[in-house]
A and B are shown apart, each in its own frame.
Chain A
């Protein structure tokens, strides 16, 4: 049986990470491009995401329609997403169709950014921005990021702004594309019942001729902002409030402890669930982690009737303070670990889940982890690591409070 993971590199520098899985019918494959919104300049805000759209619009070998048709001929389920620090193009197909799937994905990485498609696709992106503006939780999330990372390139939304997208030219996008979509910034990730030697041979055939290129410029770690930000939008009925604290980054040894802490505080069957939702104060209250390679956030967020806003903010703060002050029982810690272990066991069955997990590990940790490695990391969470987490990343301070909704002012 082949090793679980095979890590390889083509002569042009393209890294390859393969997870061999037994007993599955599908195979997931994707190109991780290690560039995202935080690698843009302010005037190019949104270019990474817009470029992700354009990579589906044509290559020297295929028109947009041909890309779509060729994927659909194998039922390839192509998709892509852009975040603040990465872009990932992926597909899920039958094992026997893997060579075709990889060939199309690789072709897309050599997009011709067809000029006649550029303005058309710009309209699509502007519609996506309009759709996001109609969602209060999206508006709140963008405001959190904008405020907490003010002055850093993490501050602008992944979609960019209406004005920056409208002003963007194809030449600007092309410059960005040529400098970032190079083997130095890319990883091919594959998970499924594949023969690793065949994957590497296919990668050589499809990607071996790519020009090596330079790594993207270094990133600057942000300094986290605090304070209170309120945005009044009268057309919404509810209020969204969020208190944000600094947390460990994805590669930090305290990462799994931070995940457990968020789950105890604001996951299912959590303190927020029983002490906020199940008192009728707010229908949704949760604790969310936002990870980057070099930093992270813990966001305590709730949606509520505007008249409950101050009480909800008070309740979020009170729960965070009580949590930090302790005690946290061993049973409480064990419960969230048990749930996470079951989830990991189930996710381990699916090539799609493993594809995304391996990609995440490679990007942030430089090496993939097995399901067993991940479970071991969850098992290591305990009283000591929780104390270390609270010492390093206090959750009983001011943080950044964001409030979005119809309220014109709030004591919060």
Chain B
């Protein structure tokens, strides 16, 4: 597979292109480097609202006409809002890529934020908060996010009901003006397009879009709060989430952290699945995952189980987190490594996944990292590295814990 090309465009956009001549479609991801951390404290939810309404009208098209234009070229579009970036992803046939970017540039550069669309977005966000109340796992994630990352990075995308109520159309406009510009954009493209073709299109579409100075690439520190809290909720299952400090994706120990997570939660022979579900039958779901704000990292472990099994599940999880650094075997490390490598190969068959990797590299490394380089780092990790990391970041580390359901761990 060819290497990705990384170009700083004169318009301010940071561009990475992975040319894949034999693929049928082009995947693209435009990341505007703004998210919930850029919201005023009394306007929580604003970044998400802007991401939801930025395509609801321009000087040339209504929101519906814009969507119709995307559909005419068979382009699937999707958007999301995160902590430090807002993403606009798309998938199209190569002959329509230029038109696809023309439409994206139109709404990103000249949204009109119709009053009615702003009002609807706020009302829908209010209802989404209600939906979240019915999603026990999502609610547990919201609570652990606040607890493990602090008041800024731990903000929830949808906001809070009181802050949503205070947001006006002027706030939409002002947030967009302050945070959407070419200098705050990273664009990743994968598919049958040459870097020069993409470069020409992006320069033409985004020249003169606000300040072209690269910005919003700073690191915001995690404010980790090592406490245990319980949130009462009438549910059939109790939800447990444990958070620990991890390392950034750019850190030398990142591959070690990946391997450790693989040992604990990567495959069907991973320790948590084996000990909590297979041997004791305590849960249907147990797992581990990582989250990476730019320049930082967190390790999470979660499970859901009926209240009478909650304490036993929690104790077993803690036991496994403590034990892994002591009796880890080379065979487990090898299996975890194989699992990561194979998933890596499988993702290589999917254009959209390769584009996502590229976008992630720009976000966390400021440049594309070759797949060979990533594999090389993974292959160099030893069992002693994993044990050492486990001792420092898991076994002896402070933890932040959330339980949500009808019963606390103490009761």
Tell me if B335 is interfacial: C-beta within 8 Å of chain A: yes
Tell me if A131 is interfacial: C-beta within 8 Å of chain B: yes
Stretch at the interface among A11-19, A62-70, A174-182: A62-70
Q: How far is the CA of A346 from the CA of B73 in the complex (A)?
A: 15
Tell me if B92 is interfacial: C-beta within 8 Å of chain A: yes
User: In chain A, residues 224-241, which have Cβ atoms closer than 8 Å to a Cβ of chain B?
Assistant: 235-238
Tell me if B342 is interfacial: C-beta within 8 Å of chain A: yes
The interface centre, meaning the residue of A94, A278, A335, A342 with most chain B CB atoms within 10 A of its CB, is A342
Q: A77-B342, A120-B281, A237-B134 are in contact. Are A345 and B25 (CB under 8 A)?
A: yes
Q: How far is the CA of A303 from the CA of B304 in the complex (A)?
A: 24
| Chief secondary structure at chain A's binding surface | helix
User: In chain B, residues 218-277, which have Cβ atoms closer than 8 Å to a Cβ of chain A?
Assistant: 234-237, 266-270, 273-274, 277
Complex contact B348–A124 (CB within 8 A):
no
Stretch at the interface among B8-16, B122-130, B173-181: B122-130
User: In chain B, residues 22-36, which have Cβ atoms closer than 8 Å to a Cβ of chain A?
Assistant: 22-25
Tell me if A269 is interfacial: C-beta within 8 Å of chain B: yes
Tell me if A213 is interfacial: C-beta within 8 Å of chain B: no
> Which A residues are in CB contact (< 8 Å) with B203?
none
Q: A65-B269, A75-B339, A305-B130 are in contact. Are A335 and B72 (CB under 8 A)?
A: yes
Q: A26-B349, A237-B130, A339-B71 are in contact. Are A278 and B117 (CB under 8 A)?
A: yes
User: In chain B, residues 268-316, which have Cβ atoms closer than 8 Å to a Cβ of chain A?
Assistant: 268-270, 273-274, 277-285, 304-306
Q: How far is the CA of A24 from the CA of B345 in the complex (A)?
A: 9
> Which A residues are in CB contact (< 8 Å) with B338?
72-75
Tell me if B366 is interfacial: C-beta within 8 Å of chain A: no
Q: How far is the CA of A125 from the CA of B76 in the complex (A)?
A: 37
Stretch at the interface among A252-260, A279-287, A388-396: A279-287
Q: Mark B330-356, 1 if CB is under 8 A from A, else 0.
A: 000011001111110110111110000
Complex contact B349–A350 (CB within 8 A):
yes
Residue of B nearest to A343 (CB): B76
> Which A residues are in CB contact (< 8 Å) with B102?
none
Q: Mark B146-183, 1 if CB is under 8 A from A, else 0.
A: 00000000000000000000000000000000000000
The interface centre, meaning the residue of A26, A305, A351 with most chain B CB atoms within 10 A of its CB, is A26
Q: A134-B235, A269-B70, A342-B76 are in contact. Are A238 and B134 (CB under 8 A)?
A: yes
Q: How far is the CA of A81 from the CA of B310 in the complex (A)?
A: 27
User: In chain A, residues 16-66, which have Cβ atoms closer than 8 Å to a Cβ of chain B?
Assistant: 23-26, 56, 64-65
Q: How far is the CA of A287 from the CA of B284 in the complex (A)?
A: 30
Q: How far is the CA of A352 from the CA of B346 in the complex (A)?
A: 9
Size of interface on A: residues with Cβ below 8 Å to B = 70
With beta carbons under 8 angstroms apart, the residue of B71, B136, B280, B305 that contacts A338 is B71
Q: How far is the CA of A25 from the CA of B343 in the complex (A)?
A: 11
Q: Mark A113-141, 1 if CB is under 8 A from B, else 0.
A: 00000011111111110110111100000
With beta carbons under 8 angstroms apart, the residue of A72, A75, A121, A269 that contacts B71 is A269
> Which B residues are in CB contact (< 8 Å) with A278?
63, 117, 120
Q: Mark A316-352, 1 if CB is under 8 A from B, else 0.
A: 0000000000000001001110110111011011111
Residue of A nearest to B73 (CB): A338
Q: How large is the interface on B (under 10, 10 to 19, 20 to 34, 35 or more residues)?
A: 35 or more
Complex contact B349–A24 (CB within 8 A):
yes
Residue of A nearest to B340 (CB): A75
Q: A72-B268, A73-B335, A280-B124 are in contact. Are A92 and B346 (CB under 8 A)?
A: yes
User: In chain B, residues 170-222, which have Cβ atoms closer than 8 Å to a Cβ of chain A?
Assistant: none
Q: How far is the CA of A303 from the CA of B133 in the complex (A)?
A: 13
Complex contact B64–A274 (CB within 8 A):
yes
Complex contact A349–B23 (CB within 8 A):
yes
Q: Mark A138-171, 1 if CB is under 8 A from B, else 0.
A: 0000000000000000000000000000000000
> Which B residues are in CB contact (< 8 Å) with A69?
269, 335
Complex contact A26–B345 (CB within 8 A):
yes
With beta carbons under 8 angstroms apart, the residue of A124, A283, A341 that contacts B128 is A283
Complex contact B335–A342 (CB within 8 A):
no
> Which A residues are in CB contact (< 8 Å) with B131?
237-238, 283-284, 303
Tell me if B40 is interfacial: C-beta within 8 Å of chain A: no
The smallest C-beta distance from A20 to any residue of chain B, in angstroms, reads: 15
Complex contact A71–B267 (CB within 8 A):
yes
Residue of B nearest to A92 (CB): B346
Q: How far is the CA of A26 from the CA of B346 in the complex (A)?
A: 6
Tell me if B119 is interfacial: C-beta within 8 Å of chain A: yes
Complex contact A72–B236 (CB within 8 A):
no
Residue of A nearest to B335 (CB): A72
Complex contact B120–A280 (CB within 8 A):
yes
> Which B residues are in CB contact (< 8 Å) with A125?
284
Complex contact B267–A75 (CB within 8 A):
yes
Tell me if A93 is interfacial: C-beta within 8 Å of chain B: yes
Residue of B nearest to A352 (CB): B346
> Which A residues are in CB contact (< 8 Å) with B346?
25-26, 77, 92, 352
Tell me if A247 is interfacial: C-beta within 8 Å of chain B: no
Q: How far is the CA of A237 from the CA of B233 in the complex (A)?
A: 12
Complex contact A93–B64 (CB within 8 A):
no
The smallest C-beta distance from B13 to any residue of chain A, in angstroms, reads: 24
Complex contact A124–B71 (CB within 8 A):
no
The interface centre, meaning the residue of A78, A283, A304 with most chain B CB atoms within 10 A of its CB, is A283
Tell me if B5 is interfacial: C-beta within 8 Å of chain A: no
Complex contact A72–B267 (CB within 8 A):
yes
Tell me if B369 is interfacial: C-beta within 8 Å of chain A: no
The smallest C-beta distance from B55 to any residue of chain A, in angstroms, reads: 11
Complex contact A342–B134 (CB within 8 A):
no
Tell me if A291 is interfacial: C-beta within 8 Å of chain B: no
Q: How far is the CA of A75 from the CA of B338 in the complex (A)?
A: 6
- Give me 4 other A-B pairs in contact (C-beta within 8 A), A25-B348, A268-B76, A343-B91 excluded: A120-B281, A134-B235, A284-B131, A346-B352
22 contacts between A and B (CB under 8 A): A23-B22, A65-B274, A68-B274, A69-B269, A71-B267, A72-B270, A77-B342, A124-B277, A128-B284, A130-B306, A280-B119, A280-B123, A305-B130, A338-B71, A338-B73, A339-B76, A341-B74, A342-B75, A342-B92, A345-B93, A349-B351, A350-B350
Q: Which 3 pairs of residues, A with B, have the shortest CB-CB distance?
A: A75-B342, A338-B74, A335-B71
